[in-house]
Amino acid sequence: MSDTCSDLHSRLLPLESRFTWDLKKEDLDLEGLSTGLQEQIDLGLGQRGAVAHYYSYLAYVRYLQDKPEEAMSLLSQSEEKTRECFGEESERRLIVTYGDLAWLSYHTGDFTQSDTYCLRVEDILVKYPTGSSTVLHPEVYGEKAWTFLRFFRLYYHKAIDCFLKALELQPDDREWNAGYAIALYRTVPIDKETSLEAEESPVVKQLRRALEINPDDAVLLALLALNLSFYPQEENNKEAEPLAEKALEISPDCPQVTRYIAKYLRQQGQVDRSIILLKRVLQRSSQSAFIHNQLALCYKKKRNALFRMPYRNQEIWQWTGLMRQHLKEAVRLKPSFVYAMAELALLCAEDNNMSRAEELFQKVLAMSSDDKASIRQFVHLCYGQFNQYHARKEDLAITHYTKGLQLTQKTWDWRQCAEKLKQIAERRLSRNDNDGEAYGLLGRVARAEGTLRRAVGYYEKALERDPNNDQYLSAVFELCMELQ
């Protein structure tokens, strides 16, 4: 490396850029990102300046896809869109764009152009000092946050950190408050059987805060309606309905808004209306894996409602076919879509295509191994059901229900894992009261549920039938210590 090249590289390293944010190619679904971003650009979705962001994101994806010329063109369009949206206030919003252009020029061997963009960043930083070498401009924190939020779910915690830093500098900014609310929605699990008040939820609090600043943000209105619907208090549902209607009135054709409202309607039992909304938005957003998945869940709900009714096999077959069609499309469009792939695997098992179901489940288990607890609980529940009801491997079902139970977030899927283990244990005991393993399972569930004395009782019964079992002895000892 020449001295000139080495000097330029050392100047590039401190730049805030997607090239310096440790966005790992192996983490990213490049095809899915490419499809989704191009669709958002074509539809012009999002708040002020959002399309400029999409051009920048897509440029980095194109670079990773070894298309540097297209990446350069997209970054130039991002700069143009930023200037159109923000005018004289655009310079600080271009710090990251110019950083990307400097790095991209460097990687393509155009060192002169790289130096030019590097100088532009340095000039902006001199013109707008932050007062500290460790503090970034809020626009840079925001750009980092949106990038982490858009690219990969394992980066969501980084997005939250960046939005919080932006809010420390600009606490009343509508964009950072909205972004922080969306990031919380994606990371804080909703317990469908919670007894908490909605106002105790950090997601609800932040959504309300963001809507105080921007009361006509349709995405935030839809998210607040959806979140309120999960809480049992009647007043929450009364508040949620007008929020949902207002969101649809403001943005009737926005796929993101429709997706959330359709989910809200499905949970309220308005499945047919949800289907109508989703079909309408699918005409504009046919490449949305999430819309296809939402439709599949609607058809699943209609199908499941018919199972106990006589002479409805033809309708069940019809809804199952539509469900399968949309799940396949969701997985095709987004191969990393864990929820859709797990549902599709269960459908394959229903069709007696066991090898395909097992193949899909192995992919899902591998993909979700580093995911948040609520996703892993869902996967273990589905794979447990597959092994219990289709593969007839009860021991493996118990293993995966237990893994779901051991993830301590008490979501609906967690409760389902607990319920499945109870059912297995109680069925075994109805056949053989001396089944020590069954009592051990009940002890495991009781311990996870926090009923420690009951857990001790079950483990003691397990020991009566299997006195040399070290696992049961250890559990009794640990529980007694906890009770003291």
Name the residue range of residue 261's domain. Answer: 193-284
* pLDDT at site 475: 93
Q: Crossing angle, helix 289-304 and helix 271-282, to 10 degrees?
A: 150
* pLDDT at site 474: 94
Last residue of a domain, one of 220, 250, 284: 284
The answer as to whether 251 is a domain residue is yes
Q: By C-alpha distance, which of 294, 326, 328, 322 is closest to 222?
A: 294
* pLDDT at site 324: 96
Last residue of a domain, one of 255, 284, 313: 284
Last residue of a domain, one of 246, 268, 284: 284
Give yes or no: residues 375 and 475 share one domain.
yes
The pTM of this model reads: 0.87
* pLDDT at site 253: 81
* Res. 288: pLDDT tops 90: no
Beta carbons of 364 and 320 less than 8 angstroms apart: no
* pLDDT at site 196: 57
Give yes or no: residues 371 and 474 share one domain.
yes
Mean pLDDT of 191-213: 79
In the chain, DSSP finds a helix count (H) and a strand count (E) of 24, 0
The owner of tokens 């018919």 is 306
Residue 10 pLDDT level (bands cut at 50, 70, 90):
very high
For residue 471, CA distances in Å to 83, 419, 438, 459 come to 66, 22, 14, 9
Residue 198 pLDDT level (bands cut at 50, 70, 90):
low
Mean pLDDT of 364-373: 86
The answer as to whether 392 is a domain residue is yes
Residue 29 pLDDT level (bands cut at 50, 70, 90):
confident
% of the chain at pLDDT higher than 70: 96
* pLDDT at site 49: 82
* Res. 464: pLDDT tops 90: yes
Residue 484 pLDDT level (bands cut at 50, 70, 90):
confident
Specify the CATH number for the domain of residue 231.
1.25.40.10
The owner of tokens 């079902």 is 397
The answer as to whether 298 is a domain residue is no
The answer as to whether 125 is a domain residue is no
The answer as to whether 295 is a domain residue is no
Out of 6-20, 60-74, 232-246, least confident range: 232-246
Give yes or no: residues 474 and 374 share one domain.
yes
* pLDDT at site 309: 80
The answer as to whether 410 is a domain residue is yes
* Res. 439: pLDDT tops 70: yes
Burial class (CB in 10 A: 0-12, 13-18, 19+), 313: exposed
The answer as to whether 115 is a domain residue is no
Q: What is the pLDDT of residues 114-150, one digit of tens each?
A: 999 999 999 999 999 998 888 999 999 999 999 999 9
* pLDDT at site 145: 97
The answer as to whether 171 is a domain residue is no
The CA distance from 316 to 308, in Å, is 11
Q: State the total domains in the chain.
A: 2
